[in-house]
Chains A and B, each alone.
Chain A
Amino acid sequence: MSANTAMADKYRNNFLKEIEEQVEMGDWVKMCMQCGVCSGSCPTNFQSAWEHPPQELFMMIRAGKREEVLTTTSMWNCTSCYNCIVRCPRKLPITHIMHGIAEYAHRLGVAPKMQPTRFFSGLFWKNATKTGRVNELKLSMGLYFKDGLVQGIKNGMAMQAVALGLVKAKRLNVMELFGGHKCKDQKGIQSMLKKAYEIERSRKAARMAG
């Protein structure tokens, strides 16, 4: 049984409870009063990028629309601008809930595979935690080559002027490809993060067991 089916089975007919127990800040969802200020404050929703803007997602969660919520590309449009958070009259930490739902969908393996921000988000975290510090060159290269070599070269060509400008201004170092900045205690960082994932997993399992 996949992780997704296991969770769907466990929380059958109570998607709100599933979100409350498994998603960061998920217990805030029930506080939404459907005013829509979040949706009206969202920069990418202004560009009609969200299939379901935040307040709609909150209602869909309450209505048990599990598959629609977890598989939508909507919350992956979050730019982390925090405008929804500061404007919400009921003080819901909306940005964190959006990240939380996205992370949960990603964890269950049901998030849209080709969504570029989902891909970039994972890439960023792995890049940053591998050595303890971000390697900007490898990060950009990893993104360009996500759809294969040919597309990668095309993407690289399209970004040539931008990259060249940065290299000239000494704000992009081609030598980063062969090493680059890093923390001294990488081993300590790896073990501490491994432990953190273990604890988080066991906390979530305990919540599910009730």
Chain B
Amino acid sequence: MAKHEYAFYPGCSSQKGASASNYLTSVESMCKTLDVKLTEIPDWNCCGASIGYAEAGELPRHVLNARNFALSEQNLPGQEMVATCAACWLGARETRERLTHSDTLMADTREALKEAGLTINEMPEIRHMVEVLIEDLGFEEMAKHVVRPLEGVKIAGYVGCQTNRPFGVAGESFENPVYLDKMVEMVGAQSIPEYDMKVTCCGGALAFSEPEKAQAQIKDIVESAYDHGAEMIVTPCPLCQANVEIYQGQVNKTYGTKFNIPVLYYSQLMVVAYGGSAKDAALNGQVIKARRLEEIAAKPVKR
């Protein structure tokens, strides 16, 4: 039996062929090393994300998240629900909080869920994968498995918004969370605690609807990473990762910059440090190739 077991909520962007499929691949390899068992919640649905607000309303949005709670409770009773995506985690947590604090909302939600033949008795705890790593495993346990430290690599820890606000990770500040820097150090790389764009917004969904506004944000985030001598950026959020990585070409056209910096997930760094191959870390999923990390992943491990 695995050391830690959770009901897993991968989210839309993690699916095969979707924008964060490389995140999922690397999380799966990471969890194998750490003996964490993730069981996918059967038939889970989209959390609605923050951007659905114009049509979602209040109750429909909560009912959508509550369906996942009901499926989790029914199929994986007693297990906490773990999300890898910042928006999934935030959406689910927000719904759980609102339903906990309003009997009316809870009663209405139960009535709507009946239409899908579902019910909620006890809502699962909602956790983000980084919470599991930090709180349930701890840095010491995470560090134990490092067999190929990412020596000499300077990495800007970009936390972004939704993994950090409004809930955040317990014990961290909203203005200057340090867990990601600690994770960078944990894999043997060099962190940049003074990276001043670590909690700046990437523009979120506006990257689609109003790209010029989001790209002004992205420019600042990437520029600051370069200014601090970073070779790559690391993030816990699928939308941060995509926005900061894939629009660098367009930012270059608009601002005359020459950005070409890889943007990775924490799980990808960990997989390489844990001795995994480039494939295990899904480095083939980078639009801007992380050459330095690929080189390290090709090296033999230190046992």
Task: List residues of chain A with CB under 8 Å of any chain B CB.
Answer: 24, 43-44, 47, 49, 77, 79-83, 85-87, 95, 99-100, 102-103, 106, 111, 116-122, 124-126, 128-129, 132-134, 136, 139-140, 143, 161-162, 165-166, 168-173, 175-176, 181, 183-185, 188-189, 191-197, 199-200, 203
Contacts and interface: CB of A to CB of B under 8 A. Distances in A.
Nearest to A167: B17
Interface string B96-132: 0000000010001101111111100000000000000
Contact of A128 (B48, B109, B287): B48
8 contacts: A77-B213, A79-B204, A81-B201, A111-B54, A121-B54, A193-B64, A197-B57, A199-B108
B206 A44 contact: yes
A60 B35 CA distance: 55
Interface residues of B, number: 70
Given A124-B49, A192-B116, A199-B108, A185 B17 contact: no
Contact of A143 (B67, B168, B209): B209
A122 B115 CA distance: 24
B52 A193 contact: no
B152 interface: no
B249 A122 contact: no
A131 to B, nearest CB: 9
Given A81-B161, A136-B19, A197-B59, 10 more contacts: A77-B206, A77-B213, A79-B204, A79-B217, A100-B53, A120-B51, A166-B287, A169-B286, A185-B43, A192-B113
Contacts of A99: 50, 53
Nearest to B46: A128
A168 B206 CA distance: 24
Contact of A79 (B59, B206, B247): B206
Given A117-B210, A171-B17, A193 B63 contact: yes
Nearest to B210: A116
A120 B19 contact: no
A82 B210 contact: no
A196 B108 contact: yes
B143 interface: no
B229 interface: no
Contacts of B108: 196, 199-200, 203
B59 A200 contact: yes
Nearest to B66: A192
B22 A80 contact: no
Contact of A171 (B19, B64, B205): B19
B79 interface: no
Interface string B165-195: 1101000001000000000000000000000
Contacts of A132: 43, 45-46
A195 B60 CA distance: 8
Contacts of A184: 43
Given A133-B46, A193-B60, A82 B53 contact: no
A126 B171 CA distance: 37
A134 B114 CA distance: 24
B67 A189 contact: yes
A192 B55 contact: no
Contact of A106 (B43, B54, B112): B54
A162 B165 contact: no
B300 to A, nearest CB: 27
Contacts of B118: 188, 192
B155 interface: no
B53 A120 contact: no
Contacts of B298: none
Contact of B205 (A124, A188, A203): A124
